[in-house]
Amino acid sequence: MAERTVRIGSSHGLHARPAKLFTQAASKSGSKVTVAKGSGAPVNAASILAVISLGVDHGDYVTLTADGDNAEQVLDGLVELLVTDHDE
């Protein structure tokens, strides 16, 4: 299992559009991926409703975990999505 903590780059947080990109990538990854805001409980990163319900704002930190053969590569791609400002 791999884990990373990352700061959200989108200026409006993890709202519908960036959350959709993130959950689609998590779903297609072939790994079991979770995301948690701060010290909160982790949720399924492939579920857009679960991800949006976290209420992640710009500058918040989230922790990602991935379990699978390619967990490090999966997290590399997901981290890139989260640090990018999709609201520019």
Q: Read off φ and ψ for residue 74, nearest 5 degrees.
A: -60, -45
Catalytic, out of 12, 15, 58, 86: 15
**DSSP 3-state of 17:** helix
15 tagged catalytic: yes
**Beta strand ranges found along the chain (DSSP E):** 2-7, 32-37, 43-44, 61-67
CA-to-CA distance for 17 and 21, rounded, in angstroms? Answer: 6
Give the residue numbers annotated as catalytic, written as ranges.
15
